Amino acid sequence: MQVTCFLLKHSCCEALPAKRAFLCPFWELRPVTTSGNQTKNNRMASRSINDLNPLLAYAFGRAEAEFKALYPTAPTPFLTATFRSNEEQNALFNQPFDKKDNDGDGKIDEADERVTNAKAGQSAHNFNPSFALDVAFKTKTGAVDYSDKWFDLFAKLVLKTTGITWGGNFKSLKDKPHFEVTGWEKLVKK
């Protein structure tokens, strides 16, 4: 596969030394597909870093190490989603419209309970390797922590890697747990 790397603006992967390959989202020649390599239950989103675009995998690993070093008593970041199948994406899209109060604010305000604007095939998660990851934090006792402050601190570290966009900076429907490869839409255009 010969492609032009949108970060380094040259043909890859042959042009890249192996140790710098993580800078290029195309260094791995695995073709991008919309069907997953999940074997068990296709409705479950993958949490594996192996289903992640290499640039994102690098950015996450680097931020995770720095976060643990900087905030040793804080909850630790972990991946909650990488690749998500089309079935899972539609389930997530439709999730709020169940006549129940999903966000626990005491109201069945379903427009407000949306967690994604993307239907199947429209999310950066719907490709394998995935162009997006979702993160959350785990406390020492194993509880999951979604506090804004951890996302804000973690995002600063992830964004040290060039070429990543944070969902916390989205204009509509901010998504603090979400990070994606900037310009991924252009990479999957047929």
Residue 134 binds Zn ion, judged by CB under 5 A: yes
Q: Are 187 and 131 in contact (CB under 8 A)?
A: yes
Name the amino acid, one letter, at 12: C
> What 3-state DSSP class applies to 144?
strand
Q: Which helix (H) or strand (E) holds 70?
A: helix 54-70
Between 66 and 110, CB nearer to Ca ion: 110
Give the list of residues 6+ apart from residue 7 with CB closer than 8 angstroms, or none.
Answer: 23, 24, 25, 55, 162, 163
**Which of residues 8 and 47 has its CB atom nearest to Zn ion in the complex?**
47
CB of 179 to Zn ion, least distance (A): 8
Beta bridge partners of 137: 77, 145
Q: Which is nearer to Ca ion, 48 or 90 (CB)?
A: 90
Q: What is the smallest separation between the CB atom of 34 and Ca ion, expressed in angstroms?
A: 28
Site for Ca ion in 73-132 (CB under 5 A): 96, 98, 100-103, 105, 107, 109-110, 113
List interacting residues with Ca ion (CB under 5 A).
Answer: 96, 98, 100-103, 105, 107, 109-110, 113
List interacting residues with Zn ion (CB under 5 A).
Answer: 132, 134, 178
